[in-house]
Amino acid sequence: MTDPQPPFDQDEYRRRQRERARIMAILLLAFVALVFGITIAKMGLYE
- DSSP code at position 9: -
- Give the residue numbers spanning the domain of 23: 11-47
The amino acid at 5: Q
Q: Is residue 17 part of a domain?
A: yes
Q: Is residue 3 part of a domain?
A: no
- How much is the pTM? 0.69
Q: Is residue 26 part of a domain?
A: yes
Domain count along the chain: 1
Q: Is residue 21 part of a domain?
A: yes
Task: Report which of residues 27 and 44 the model is more confident about.
Answer: 27
Q: Is residue 6 part of a domain?
A: no
What does the pLDDT look like over 3-21, one tens digit per residue?
677 777 889 999 999 999 9
Q: Is residue 2 part of a domain?
A: no
How many Å apart are CA 19 and CA 14, to the nearest integer? 9
